Structure 1
């Protein structure tokens, strides 16, 4: 994955993570706990990544490694968004 692809994926995922926080806060009048966020992002990640056997052409080890890389991108974007939203909330509050 080159840097432009990484930036594109990160931007897309960051938007999704931001939407998760906004939707949760709007529905619950608070930010999600880490456990709640993990459940929500795991569902979003499985939707984004697709089933593990979807790309079985390369073999299972290649697919697992590709999934780990993509999941790391998701979690990095999620952590970045969580920090930004909590800082913004602290500054506003």
Structure 2
């Protein structure tokens, strides 16, 4: 996966991360902890990662490896978005 794939994933999840922060802050009068954010975003990772092809026996290790790479890219993007949102919210206070 190249940097364009990472940028695409980051662009897709940035809105979700912002929404989570806004909703959580509105409901709880505070920002979510890292653990709370990860628990919330975990529920939506299947949408971004897509299903594994369970019917393919040949090359299953390749499918698993590809899935792990995509999952790592997703979490790297979420982590970057999280840092950006926290930084922007700190400046607004």
TM-score scaled to structure 2, two decimals? 0.76
Structure 1 residue ranges without an equivalent (≥5): none
Give the structure 2 partner of residue 42 of structure 1: 42
Q: Which has the higher contact order (CA 8 A, sep 6+)?
A: 2
Q: Deviation per CA, 1:43-75: give whole Å up to 9, x if none.
A: 1112322444x3543632122111111111211
Greater fraction helix = 1
Task: Structure 2 unaligned segments of length 5 or more: list them.
Answer: none
Aligned residue for 2:17? 17
With structure 1 as the length reference, what TM-score do the two structures score?
A: 0.76
| Paired residues for 1:1-93 under 5 Å | 1-52=1-52, 54=53, 56-57=55-56, 59-93=59-93
